[in-house]
């Protein structure tokens, strides 16, 4: 199915009933070339904002393969008000984005203000200096469920569709990550099961949380759900992104 045919079907991530959906061609509030706010398209009012000019990402009209995106560098991020996730042990997150550097650790997205009840999607430099993309879920600084490492640094600077899920009610296979619709292997030796639900905490775009492990890269779209999506839905997101962004 080509781009025009797929987009003509009218399917968007809103059909998944997301908890938050951000897309860089809509809902952007500019402070010059900087982004002071990014409106939530889900209908839930979970808008992300950044009042401090020095910490505002740069809007790019054609940054992501000719499509709008936000470019994050140094200490730049946007954040929502607190989102109550205490009623769920399941989350899903999709980020359509690209790294601009594989020489530093950085987070596309995260939640919480410490690692006591944290989840986030990141890129980093493990031992051996092979850049990786990974999803991390921690609980009480004890359990870490990390799904997936990419194997080459070249793959990480491509335009990627990253889809991650976590289900803390499972004892095995708790977290998953796919890169461009290819499942990644969980190879973290300290992998542990995390129990209990998530926190009442802000969602941060472009960092783990405020001014912590900020992103060096660009983001075109973010889709966040307070449930575990199916593999068919993950494929749907990838197919949509591939058509919309010409990937």
Q: Where are the domains of the chain?
A: 3-245
Question: Would strands 28-31 and 34-38 be described as parallel, antiparallel, or unpaired?
Answer: antiparallel
Residue 2 has pLDDT above 50, yes or no: no
Q: Is 137 helix (H, G, I), strand (E, B) or coil?
A: strand
Options 3.40.640.10, 3.30.43.10, 2.60.120.200, 3.40.50.12280; which CATH number does 3-245 get?
2.60.120.200
pLDDT at position 5 is 45
Q: Is 23 helix (H, G, I), strand (E, B) or coil?
A: strand
Which pair of tokens denotes residue 244? 């919309």
Residue 38 has pLDDT above 70, yes or no: yes
Contact assessment for residue 100 and residue 158, using Cβ atoms and an 8 Å cutoff: no
Contact assessment for residue 184 and residue 68, using Cβ atoms and an 8 Å cutoff: no
pLDDT band at 136 (very low <50, low <70, confident <90, very high): confident
Whole-angstrom distance, CA of residue 118 vs CA of residue 191? 15
Contact assessment for residue 163 and residue 177, using Cβ atoms and an 8 Å cutoff: yes
Which pair of tokens denotes residue 186? 């969980």
Model pTM score: 0.92
Whole-angstrom distance, CA of residue 90 vs CA of residue 85? 9
211 to 69, 106, 205, 207, 208: CA distances (angstroms): 20, 11, 11, 7, 8
In eight-state DSSP terms, residue 171 is S
Residue 69 has pLDDT above 70, yes or no: yes
pLDDT at position 92 is 97
Residue 125 has pLDDT above 70, yes or no: no
What share of the chain has pLDDT > 90, as a percent? 65
Beta strands in the chain (DSSP E): 20-23, 28-31, 34-38, 48-49, 58-64, 67-72, 78-79, 83-84, 90-99, 106-111, 117-124, 132-139, 143-147, 160-167, 175-179, 182-183, 200-201, 203-205, 217-225
Contact assessment for residue 201 and residue 113, using Cβ atoms and an 8 Å cutoff: yes
How far from each other are the two terminal CA atoms of the chain, in whole angstroms?
13
Task: Report which listed range, 25-29, 106-110, 134-138, 178-182, is most confident.
Answer: 25-29
Whole-angstrom distance, CA of residue 8 vs CA of residue 168? 37
Contact assessment for residue 98 and residue 216, using Cβ atoms and an 8 Å cutoff: no
């Amino acid at each position: 199915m080509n781009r025009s045919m797929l987009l003509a079907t009218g399917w968007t991530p809103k059909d998944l009933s997301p908890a938050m959906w951000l897309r860089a061609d809509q809902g952007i509030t500019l402070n010059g070339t900087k982004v002071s706010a990014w409106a939530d398209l889900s209908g839930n009012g979970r808008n992300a904002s950044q009042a401090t000019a020095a910490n505002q990402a740069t809007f790019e009209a054609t940054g992501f393969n000719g499509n709008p995106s936000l470019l994050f560098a140094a200490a730049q991020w946007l954040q929502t008000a607190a989102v109550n996730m205490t009623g769920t042990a399941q989350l899903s997150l999709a980020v359509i984005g690209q790294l601009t550097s594989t020489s530093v650790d950085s987070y596309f997205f995260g939640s919480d203000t410490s690692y006591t009840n944290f989840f986030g999607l990141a890129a980093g430099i493990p031992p051996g200096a092979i850049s990786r993309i990974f999803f991390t879920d921690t609980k009480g600084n004890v359990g870490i469920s990390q799904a997936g490492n990419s194997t080459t640094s070249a793959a990480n600077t491509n335009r990627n569709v990253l889809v991650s899920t976590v289900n803390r009610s499972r004892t095995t296979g708790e977290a998953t990550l796919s890169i461009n619709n290819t499942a990644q292997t969980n190879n973290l030796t300290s992998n542990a099961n995390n129990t209990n639900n998530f926190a009442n905490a802000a969602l941060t775009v472009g960092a783990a949380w405020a001014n912590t492990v900020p992103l060096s890269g660009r983001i075109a779209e973010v889709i966040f759900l307070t449930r575990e999506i199916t593999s068919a839905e993950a494929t749907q997101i990838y197919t949509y992104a591939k058509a919309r962004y010409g990937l």
